[in-house]
Structure 1
């Protein structure tokens, strides 16, 4: 039977209580503190296995009577640096081998270093946690080695530009990618192992590496539309060739602001004289022109099915009256493409971005995309929330509106996005359509489901009536 290890803990604050919850049956714990009620609570937490000593932990006499010389470990965890320093000095004089101290004022660091004890600056640890969250809420950081190192965890899906990269290329001067969780199993990768979608990345580095990692990997920067694919597909669908130049200019703006690697331009045979505009295309993005005899949209669907297209740009899509009554033609098109769809309105660059928002899955997806686009273009985002009349909703709309606003703020916090609220009343399609003329881009979430004469697809009508460029993000509610 293994002999229990002896530890003396001095101080009965919150840190001590959290530590006691984690110490198992392999420890014989002596707790020293001057607060009798706090000692009683600690004893109730741990039971008879805990030895409590009431007294001033900075007193050598109290520590001696508590059995300091018999301890293998001492942890000075009071909220007073002077007390913790006195405990550390007494433990060193008593010959305790392992001494750990928490301190709160950085100026006291030198005194603890002179004693040769392990010292953790509590305020620095908390500040690091806050900083990690502010740098990127998706970055999970776990401290190692008494705070001397950290493991950082990232989802590959949040870093689409890393897809296909070799593991040995994901590194900095002081940090490395050391492991992957793939298909729920831990993989210790070889240098040639390539990152795949769905991988969970484990990076190892010093405690203040978070900012450098995020800067190098762009973990807090937008990746749109790379999570869908690294190819921009431009469909020159207007029958009048004179309209192609404006469409190409807007498509080129997307190529410049995003990180797509390739551009494919679909054009009707005999209408593919585009070299002058292609010469202006970003050098980092290759361009391929494909003449199509007929069926531009079907060819677009075929290319999207191959899984490389991240964004489709085409002219305004106008379904016939029959299509409009029978089904959601625009949303069906967006869903069949499987990638976000831009209906070019000639309003680039996108400095003012509007998102119709009702708190449902479609609008949440639109807000996420809008945040990424704003990060790329430097634009500002406004959320339009429309309060319908009570006789339309059939209930008081005030609780609904407050819930939607709370959802928007929570999502914006996760995305590190600052946005403006635009509160409207009336018919959502009419009011938002009128407002859209004041913006450069409207990001609309929608789905083809639930379409009918009495339940019109709001997202589709908004896209059709908008006075600016529209980015459609198809997602089921």
Structure 2
């Protein structure tokens, strides 16, 4: 029998709508989409394979409608950090298996990580979605990227030493996007996270790049460092002669 994988997405944001559209035809179970307003839920209900519900995402009675005990992946993607914290913690306590929450303030990151919740601090919706797929191996069951224009790869920084010292959020171009940094068993998604020696970067890139992906990554790293150096020079204090 095929294993059913239920997914819950919370919040009315570009991020959440993109997540739903990316997942709705690629999972074997139910895709629940919780939205704060009834008219939003009505709109979402028109999407194929989406179970749309309206209500306050901080209300336990509303969250209990989402079958959290059988939830494979829970994604808190509202525009409010406090809401994402509360509903993610509630989902964890109810038994949701894999939990992700979008946050804007880094003060919540340690709290999430301490209880097994993966914080997503990037605003790149496609990158956020794909990071979920690769950060937890069993979540790969949810989607199939075998067909399409993108590939995913984990690249050892030793192969592209130019990456060391670059910020994660600056490592992108028209052809690739570096979406996470992994080191010593931990994965980091923060925009300002620096690439260190001994780490690996997780990259989504245009399949047309092929074997040129490392070359493009080196170019992106050089551009990022040049940009950072220009900013440093611009911020130097002016000295009176």
Aligned partner of 1:113 in structure 2 is 113
**Closer, same or farther: CA 55–175 of 1 in aligned 2, 3 Å:** closer
**Closer, same or farther: CA 22–185 of 1 in aligned 2, 3 Å:** closer
Q: 2:65 and 2:113 mapped to 1: Cα distance?
A: 27
Q: 2:215 and 2:15 mapped to 1: Cα distance?
A: 27
Q: CA deviation at 1:105?
A: 1.3
Q: CA deviation at 1:61?
A: 1.7
Which structure has more helix as a fraction of its residues?
Answer: 2
Residues 363-384 of structure 1: per-residue CA shift (max 9 Å, x gap) = xxxxxxxxxxxxxxxxxxxxxx
Q: CA deviation at 1:5?
A: 0.9
Q: 2:105 and 2:197 mapped to 1: Cα distance?
A: 30
Residues 162-213 of structure 1: per-residue CA shift (max 9 Å, x gap) = xxxxxxxxxx945789xxxxxx7945xxxxxxxxxxxx232799xxx988x3
CA contact 2:9–2:20 (8 Å) conserved in 1: no
CA contact 2:84–2:103 (8 Å) conserved in 1: yes
* SS of alignment partner, residue 122 of structure 1: coil
Q: CA deviation at 1:138?
A: 6.9
Aligned partner of 1:31 in structure 2 is 33
Aligned partner of 2:176 in structure 1 is 140
Aligned partner of 1:102 in structure 2 is 102
CA contact 1:29–1:51 (8 Å) conserved in 2: yes
- Superposition pairs for residues 12-411 of structure 1, below 5 Å? 12-23=12-23, 24-27=25-28, 28-44=30-46, 46-47=47-48, 49-122=49-122, 129=169, 131-132=170-171, 140-144=176-180, 148=188, 173-174=197-198, 186=210, 200-202=212-214, 213-214=221-222
**Closer, same or farther: CA 173–144 of 1 in aligned 2, 3 Å:** closer
Q: 1:50 and 1:76 mapped to 2: Cα distance?
A: 16
The ranges of structure 1 where at least 4 consecutive aligned residues each deviate by more than 3 angstroms after the TM superposition are 122-129, 137-140, 144-149, 172-177, 184-187
**Closer, same or farther: CA 138–100 of 1 in aligned 2, 3 Å:** closer
Q: 1:71 and 1:25 mapped to 2: Cα distance?
A: 16
CA contact 1:9–1:16 (8 Å) conserved in 2: yes
Larger RCO, structure (CA 8 Å, separation 6 or more): 2
* SS of alignment partner, residue 26 of structure 1: coil
Q: 2:116 and 2:90 mapped to 1: Cα distance?
A: 13
CA contact 2:76–2:87 (8 Å) conserved in 1: yes
* SS of alignment partner, residue 104 of structure 1: coil
Q: 2:69 and 2:175 mapped to 1: Cα distance?
A: 43
CA contact 1:176–1:204 (8 Å) conserved in 2: no
* SS of alignment partner, residue 89 of structure 1: helix
Unmatched 5+ residue regions in structure 1? 150-171, 178-183, 188-199, 221-477
Q: CA deviation at 1:3?
A: 3.3
Q: CA deviation at 1:148?
A: 4.0
Residues 304-324 of structure 1: per-residue CA shift (max 9 Å, x gap) = xxxxxxxxxxxxxxxxxxxxx
Q: 2:226 and 2:112 mapped to 1: Cα distance?
A: 37
* SS of alignment partner, residue 40 of structure 1: helix
Aligned partner of 1:8 in structure 2 is 8
CA contact 1:72–1:98 (8 Å) conserved in 2: yes
CA contact 1:9–1:32 (8 Å) conserved in 2: yes
**Closer, same or farther: CA 114–43 of 1 in aligned 2, 3 Å:** same
CA contact 1:12–1:78 (8 Å) conserved in 2: yes
Aligned partner of 2:147 in structure 1 is none
* SS of alignment partner, residue 84 of structure 1: helix
Deviates more, 1:65-74 or 1:99-108: 65-74
Q: 1:42 and 1:88 mapped to 2: Cα distance?
A: 21
CA contact 1:175–1:204 (8 Å) conserved in 2: no
Question: Highest CA radius of gyration, 1 or 2?
Answer: 1
Provide the alpha-carbon RMSD of the alignment.
4.3
Residues 397-455 of structure 1: per-residue CA shift (max 9 Å, x gap) = xxxxxxxxxxxxxxxxxxxxxxxxxxxxxxxxxxxxxxxxxxxxxxxxxxxxxxxxxxx
